[in-house]
A and B are shown apart, each in its own frame.
Chain A
Amino acid sequence: MERFKIEIAKDFNDKLGGRWIKLGPFSGELFYNEVLKEKYQSAMQENEKLHIYLDGTKGYGSSFLDQSFGELSREFGVEEVYKTLIFHSKYFSNSISYIVEEIWGKR
């Protein structure tokens, strides 16, 4: 049973925007502020993993990924975030690779 999870398409939106709140809806900044950060902190407090489900959306831009998952690693540290988050996706393995390899620098 996953106590802490985010299904981005259901918990946020299926059509995602760019980087900043002021420049468009459903941005990475909004996702980080309203969904990701809070859930991450809750999972950390309970010493649990946070499961992220990527499927169901229309795709992820690099700016969205950087302003959400990148910002999370900048605030809380790459190692901690890398240990805590577990990604699930059938259709967006490229986005997962991008986050882990390009944004977090884990190769």
Chain B
Amino acid sequence: MGKKITFYALYVITMLLCVIFSRFLYEKSWFSVLTVSKELVPFDVFSLIVSSILTFWLAWFITKRLTEQRYEKEYLISDLKIIEEDINKIEDSTTEDESIELQKLLNNLNRLYSNITRFSKTMDAFEVQNFEVQPLRKCYNRLFTLLTDVDGEYLLINDVNRHEINQLCSEFVLTARKMVFEINKR
């Protein structure tokens, strides 16, 4: 914030100095040595038309590109939000009961994995460069191991593994959020 205020202050001061200096030059009649031709030649008209067309085209192109980028970002961010919701659902399911059926956990984990795969394939489709999905997969594997390493048909929840589950889910959510910030900055 401090940097922004300093930047804007410098900007205003620079503009003021430019205005004062221009006024000074005007008073000293320095501008009277400059002349402007009022004759219009065909080349000037052609140049004006070409410049206008180029300016419009550039404005259109930049606006289109920015809009496309915005759509891509929105898709990717919404995928990451869905992943975060899935993680929260899994975490909530482990706080409700003291034992959870393995099959219920597998259903939730399979859905989470599908959404991670969808996000990864969307990134490939949009040709997003220099962006790794591997951190999400690593978090998934850790959560999968913790929740499904059961001897029988149920995962028994106690104070020890509940804390571990909460911590792992938090790390997972933070990993997804970091990706949201990174995508938004691009």
Contacts and interface: CB of A to CB of B under 8 A. Distances in A.
Q: Do A and B belong to a common assembly? A: yes
Contacts of A93: 117
B130 interface: no
Interface residues of A, number: 24
Nearest to A94: B113
Nearest to B150: A18
Contacts of A101: 141
B149 A66 contact: yes
B145 A59 contact: no
Contacts, number: 60
Interface centre among B107, B137, B144 (most CB of A within 10 A): B144
Interface string B102-129: 1101110110010001000000000000
B92 interface: no
Contacts of B105: 61
A102 B153 contact: no
Contact of B151 (A15, A23, A94): A23
Contacts of A97: 137
B152 interface: yes
B153 A18 contact: yes
Interface in B128-184: 137, 140-141, 144-145, 148-153
A62 B153 contact: no
Nearest to A102: B141
Interface of B: 102-103, 105-107, 109-110, 113, 117, 137, 140-141, 144-145, 148-153
**Which 7 pairs, one residue from A and one from B, show the smallest C-beta to C-beta distance?**
A59-B106, A23-B152, A61-B148, A24-B152, A24-B153, A18-B150, A62-B148
Interface of A: 15, 17-20, 23-25, 27, 58-64, 66, 91, 93-94, 97-98, 101-102
15 contacts: A17-B153, A18-B102, A19-B152, A23-B153, A24-B152, A25-B153, A27-B152, A59-B103, A60-B106, A61-B106, A63-B151, A91-B110, A94-B140, A98-B144, A102-B141
